[in-house]
Amino acid sequence: MTMSEVDHSGLDREKARSKLADIQQAILVLPEAEQAQLWEWFSELEWERWDKQIEADADEGALDFLIADALEAKEDGTLQEL
């Protein structure tokens, strides 16, 4: 990695921190109702990301152990109804 690459990436991080600070400050001066709208939007965004991650994990078989556990509990008679 050259010196210019290091400097460039450092500048990018500094610029991103500056943008984050600007966003945080802008949020602080929003009226309460608009902060609530922003929170709702951000919460929805997070749920969408969570749903995509769950779907990806399921497609990869990473959650198969949950099915196996549920089937075992059903067979043992220890499965609890929701």
| Residue type at position 70 | A
d(CA 29, CA 35): 9
Q: Considering only residues 31 and 6, tell me which one the structure prediction assigns the higher pLDDT.
A: 31
pTM of the shown model: 0.59
Give pLDDT, residue 8.
Answer: 58
**Helix residue spans in 1-82 (DSSP H):** 3-28, 32-60, 64-76
Q: Where does the pLDDT of residue 82 fall: very low under 50, low under 70, confident under 90, or very high at 90 and above?
A: confident
d(CA 4, CA 11): 10
Task: With a cut of 50, say whether residue 77 has pLDDT above it.
Answer: yes
Task: With a cut of 90, say whether residue 27 has pLDDT above it.
Answer: yes
